[in-house]
Structure 1
Amino acid sequence: MSEDATPYWLIATPITSGYSPQDDWNSLTKKTQGEDLSTNFKFNLPIKDLKVGTLDSLMALSDDLVRFDTLAEGTAFKIMKQLNELQVNEPPMVTLPDVGGRAAAPVSVDAYVRSFAWDDAKYPVKSPLKELTELIVGAVARMDEELKAKATEFANAKGAKVALERKEAGNLMVRSLDALVKSSDFIDSEHLTTLLVVVPKFGIKDWTSNYATLGGQPSFVVPGSSKQITEDADTALMTVTLFRSVVETFKTNCRERRFLVRDFSYSAKGVADEKAAKDKISSDFDKLKVMFVRWCKTNFAEAYSAMMHLKGVRLFVESTLRYGVPPNFQAVLLKPKKDLPLRKALDSLYGHLASTEMIGSNEEEVMPGQAGEFYPYVYLNVLTEPALV
């Protein structure tokens, strides 16, 4: 993970009695930004509009949201990694919704996190939390399944193209010969045929001097019929015309001299068909890559947006369980500059919540969704690129 893409901290703290949300914001900003510990952003979560439901439903949803959050994050970053593997040079974008007269616009992941606004058109806040969560998770699950299918399809196309390239790029002993020869290189009659022979460069003099005798008798190999078609770093491709009756004898004698007779039969139709097949493999791969890149760009934006909305729901649920109803808390994004001093600063501001606001008073108690980490405020991690494993 790059230094510029360190995770954001998404926290929620109750509004202090007798103070306004702006007062609490000012207090947090003065402590953290004033000491250059973080850069802070208000997280625009529609706290007053989301449906609370019952305590039991919140508790059940809280457990599920931990798993859903992991699914959404995993899906978004699998798509981002796929874009990187496709060697897409431009950074992935996420679309900010059309909110309050602001036109929808694609922005960088970092800008999207900092400017997050709830997309009510896509995820209606008036829906019950369970339905809202199912709507978001359903979209993520569909993208995850589509990604698996499209990645498999692309991998198969890439494998076919790689196999073709290896076949084309191999040495003369193994590579396809269709593109190297033409019909005028061959004689094909009732009695005569032309063979293609791969000769080591160190053996060219031996070949030139002796190929006419490799048929068993000089009269069975056409004198002067050998010519070089092409060469690579170590070998040359030679033709030779001989009687069909001595082909097997000729092959045996070639092997003894370390000459390789390629099993090749020239056919104009075969060459054309081979070229058409190669062109199709390359064309299919190129088209599929373009479509896959387009799909990944579109669906990364969708998946990352879904992930952020799920984090918003999760923050709302855990904060309501932590601080009570009606919901009266502030959601803030912090971009840490100094992790440990920032934790200490937050503890100095909100440490009192551990004993007065939390369920229970045992400091070792782990709140829902905290994955073993204890803080006196609700805390979630927000990644802008995949975490290094």
Structure 2
Amino acid sequence: MTNVRSPELWPALGLPDVTDSCNTTTTTTKTASPRSAPPPSVLPPVFAAPPRRAPRPVTMSKLSKYLLVSLPTSIAPSHDREEALTALRSTVSNDVGTTYNFSLPDFKIGTLDALVQQADDLSKLNNACEQVVNKVGDSLRGILDGDEEKIAQQKTINDKPVEQYLRSFQWNKVKYRSDKSIADLIDSLQKELAGIDNDVKGKFSQYNQVKTNLAASQRRQTGNLATKSLASIVPPDVLVQDSEYLETHLIAVPNSSVKDFLKTYESLAPMVVPRSANEVAKDDEFSLFAVVSFKKHAAEFVHKCREKRWTPRDFKYKEGSKEEEAREVDRLEKEERKVWGEALRLGRTGYSESAMIWVHVLALRVFVETVLRYGLPLEFVCGLVQTNEKLAKKAKANLDENYSYLGGNAFGRDKQGRVKKDDSAVNAELQAAGHGDSEYTPYVYYEFEIQ
């Protein structure tokens, strides 16, 4: 396998040596990359440049898959960038996907050692971005009760629909100055992503806690007699209060067990006051009885009731407790509405910013990998292909068929000279080198979905 990252090939690729701490913009040296031109026998078809016009949109039910492709301008005989983009569009074909120009600034290029490390860092950061975007999307789905129409309205990037933002992508030079080193840009993107993740997690955790508290409070008002609040049910005259020896127990008994309860409650424990059982309330599931016993044996009586699967209710009468509980429910409802709005706004902002960071990470990733693969001077074209899950495979096959020669001997071929779709040897080496998040391609290629 010819390894484009091998130090022996760096001078031939026109890249600075490891010891060269170059931090200048792209050089204009015309040293050709060994891969800049294919052998004449495998040259791709020549595409005449038609009048420039916007590509026709692909007619598909759902456009959710994106392919980010970088190719040397040598794919066009003239080495012209516009003609190279036209060649890429023709290769993909309009019935498979729509190809847009994906513009990248000229970043500062450091040493090869730095570029290789940055490629690894960007691969990890790309995975982190995807996780954060998906988590924020899931949070929005939860807070909007799975209403896909409302969810889609919140999923924008810079106040644009996702596909519109991607089609017209421009590097944000205000937030991420392209005159900074790539390492500094990666560091800024990492910190910003972590901040967004923490803010969104914190706010949605707060919302979930408020929602849980409200649900518990509402259950206490609306449940059955075994669980609901008794403040509005038990009058004070039912209870023996301020007695040194006696205590009133409130027992929720399933309606099917009322006869058994009335027959046996006096003998469950010593010193239960005879004929003290008094039905206080009844619902569809339970009957609530008040029973008086001596405090000395109160714990035993409660324990025996639980053994019978009758539910002792812990209740102390407090003046005004009914009104206090109603005020608490009202307070929690207001707090839930307030925090819901805050979480929704932060979720929308968090989705926009994390998705924007992800696209910028992808842009950096393409640039770094382009330098490592094609060398200097930087003469390449980058295109964004909008397609769907099914047609993405066809687009990839078209690209492999036309541009496999860019991989030289690194790509396995069958007896007919066609590129193998699954070269396990190449992928094994890629895994060993720490680049196992995607299969090897002879050109710069990344698939992604922003859901």
- The aligned residue for residue 378 of structure 1 is 444
Answer yes or no: is the 8 Å Cα contact 1:216–1:246 preserved in 2: no
- The aligned residue for residue 141 of structure 1 is 194
SS across alignment from 1:132: helix
SS across alignment from 2:91: helix
Shift in alpha-carbon separation, 1:207–1:350, aligned structure 2, 3 A: closer
- The aligned residue for residue 160 of structure 2 is 107
Answer yes or no: is the 8 Å Cα contact 1:110–1:384 preserved in 2: no
SS across alignment from 2:128: helix
Answer yes or no: is the 8 Å Cα contact 2:273–2:293 preserved in 1: no
Residue among 115, 119, 122 paired with 1:65: 122
Task: Give the root-mean-square deviation of aligned CA atoms.
Answer: 3.9
Query: In 1, distance between residues paired with 2:327 and 2:243?
Result: 30
Amino acid of the structure 1 residue aligned with 2:283? D
Query: TM-score w.r.t. structure 2 length?
Result: 0.66
Residue among 73, 79, 98 paired with 1:39: 98
Answer yes or no: is the 8 Å Cα contact 2:200–2:343 preserved in 1: no
Amino acid of the structure 1 residue aligned with 2:116? M
Query: In 1, distance between residues paired with 2:126 and 2:308?
Result: 68
Q: Render the CA deviation track for 1:29-50: whole Å, top value 9, x for unaligned.
A: 223224x22222221322xx32
Per-residue deviation at 1:373? Answer: 1.1
Q: Structure 2 unaligned runs (5+)? A: 1-60, 412-425
Shift in alpha-carbon separation, 1:185–1:63, aligned structure 2, 3 A: same
Amino acid of the structure 2 residue aligned with 1:11? V
- The aligned residue for residue 231 of structure 2 is 178
Per-residue deviation at 1:274? Answer: 3.8
Answer yes or no: is the 8 Å Cα contact 2:63–2:386 preserved in 1: no
Residue among 358, 361, 368 paired with 1:317: 368
- The aligned residue for residue 4 of structure 1 is 62
Amino acid of the structure 2 residue aligned with 1:21? R
Amino acid of the structure 2 residue aligned with 1:20? D
Shift in alpha-carbon separation, 1:185–1:378, aligned structure 2, 3 A: same
- The aligned residue for residue 51 of structure 1 is 108
- The aligned residue for residue 101 of structure 1 is none
Per-residue deviation at 1:161? Answer: 3.6
Query: In 1, distance between residues paired with 2:81 and 2:434?
Result: 25
Residue among 318, 321, 336 paired with 1:267: 318
Amino acid of the structure 1 residue aligned with 2:168? S
Query: In 2, distance between residues paired with 1:133 and 1:327?
Result: 21
Amino acid of the structure 2 residue aligned with 1:333? L
- The aligned residue for residue 156 of structure 1 is 209
SS across alignment from 1:171: coil
Residue among 355, 373, 386 paired with 1:335: 386
Amino acid of the structure 2 residue aligned with 1:45? L
Query: In 2, distance between residues paired with 1:114 and 1:319?
Result: 20
SS across alignment from 1:124: coil
Per-residue deviation at 1:302? Answer: 0.5
- Does 2:255 correspond to 1:201? yes
Answer yes or no: is the 8 Å Cα contact 1:94–1:305 preserved in 2: no
SS across alignment from 2:316: coil
Shift in alpha-carbon separation, 1:329–1:271, aligned structure 2, 3 A: same
Per-residue deviation at 1:204? Answer: 6.3
- The aligned residue for residue 75 of structure 1 is 132
Answer yes or no: is the 8 Å Cα contact 1:44–1:116 preserved in 2: yes
Q: Render the CA deviation track for 1:15-38: whole Å, top value 9, x for unaligned.
A: 12524222122222223224x222
Query: In 2, distance between residues paired with 1:350 and 1:243?
Result: 90
- The aligned residue for residue 87 of structure 1 is 144
Shift in alpha-carbon separation, 1:321–1:185, aligned structure 2, 3 A: same
Q: Render the CA deviation track for 1:249-290: whole Å, top value 9, x for unaligned.
A: 9x78x9599976644232124444444444444443443332
Shift in alpha-carbon separation, 1:239–1:120, aligned structure 2, 3 A: same
- The aligned residue for residue 29 of structure 1 is 89
Q: How many residues align?
A: 358
SS across alignment from 1:293: helix
Q: Render the CA deviation track for 1:168-222: whole Å, top value 9, x for unaligned.
A: 454312332124345687786879998755454356689999999x97566xx6x
Query: In 2, distance between residues paired with 1:134 and 1:266?
Result: 60
Query: In 1, distance between residues paired with 2:313 and 2:113?
Result: 76
Q: Structure 1 unaligned runs (5+)? A: 97-105, 356-360
